[in-house]
Each structure stands twice: as C-alpha cells, then as structure tokens.
Amino acid sequence: MIVNETSFLIASDHPLKLAQFYSLLLGTEIVQGLSNKHYLVIYKKICKLQIYTPSRDKHLTTRPQSSVSICFAKEPSSDSFSAIKKWIKEISKLGGKLSDGPFSESFGSEAWIADPQGNNFLIFVPQYLPN
C-alpha cells in the first residue's frame, strides 16, 4: 500500500477566503486545485494545505467530523472508484473502519476512514485524465 502524497485537508464553506488567509499567513501563493472550490497552499514543498468545499453539499454545520484532517492520496487511476474500494479493504485489514463513502466525483474518489483510535482521515484517488 504505497501512498503518493500526504497533505492537510481543511473543509470550508468559503475555501477561497480561507486559502487567502493561509497564503498570507505562510507568505506563499494559492494554487487552483481540482475544481473552482478547491485550492492548494503549498509551503516550501514540505507542507500542503488543501482547502475545499465538501462533496455532496455537506455543509460544515451538519458534518460530524472536524473540518481539519489528514488526506492520504494515491496515484491517479482510470477507475478511481474501484481503486478506492480496494484501498478501503486493505485499510480495514489494518483495523481502520469506513466512516463515510466512498464517493465518486468528476475529479476522483474519496472516503472517510476512522483509524483504530477513532481519528478520521480522508483517502483520495484522483481520476486519471489522459491528455
């Protein structure tokens, strides 16, 4: 189970405004993410903040998990939904439990997982889009 990237994920109903805050705080630029509701703030190539509006119209006031989480991402896949379901099975064998999802979006597939202590994190498989 090889993870391609680790980043901090911050859910926000106003992701651009929050990305602007963190970019000013860290003195770095905002990079457009996978959609017009997803932004990256990368600090010296060692820390990536992904700030986005949650999928499926889940507003922060109705979501049980924290708005800050770790996100583990794999390499893009042409079948991201099958890839994430396989990854969920691997994580389950280690003691992790599916909390929510998996969800398939135009940019890829994601699922919320609880570790053996109950801490939630997101796993993400980007959809491979040939040039």
Please write the tens of the pLDDT for every residue from 42-96: 877 777 888 878 765 554 444 455 677 788 889 999 999 999 999 999 999 888 9
Spatial neighbors of 108 by CB under 8 A, at least 6 apart, are: 34, 76, 80, 124, 125, 126, 127
User: Containing domain of residue 56, as a range?
Assistant: 5-126
> Is 97 contained in some domain?
yes
Q: Determine if the pTM surpasses 0.85.
A: no
CA distance 71 to 101: 14
Per-residue pLDDT tens digits for 3-51? 667 788 888 888 898 888 888 867 888 999 888 899 998 877 777 888 8
> Is 27 contained in some domain?
yes
CATH of the domain at 19: 3.10.180.10
> Is 25 contained in some domain?
yes
> Is 119 contained in some domain?
yes
- Specify the number of domains making up the chain: 1
> Is 131 contained in some domain?
no
> Is 111 contained in some domain?
yes
Whether the Cβ atoms of residue 128 and residue 74 lie closer than 8 Å to each other = no
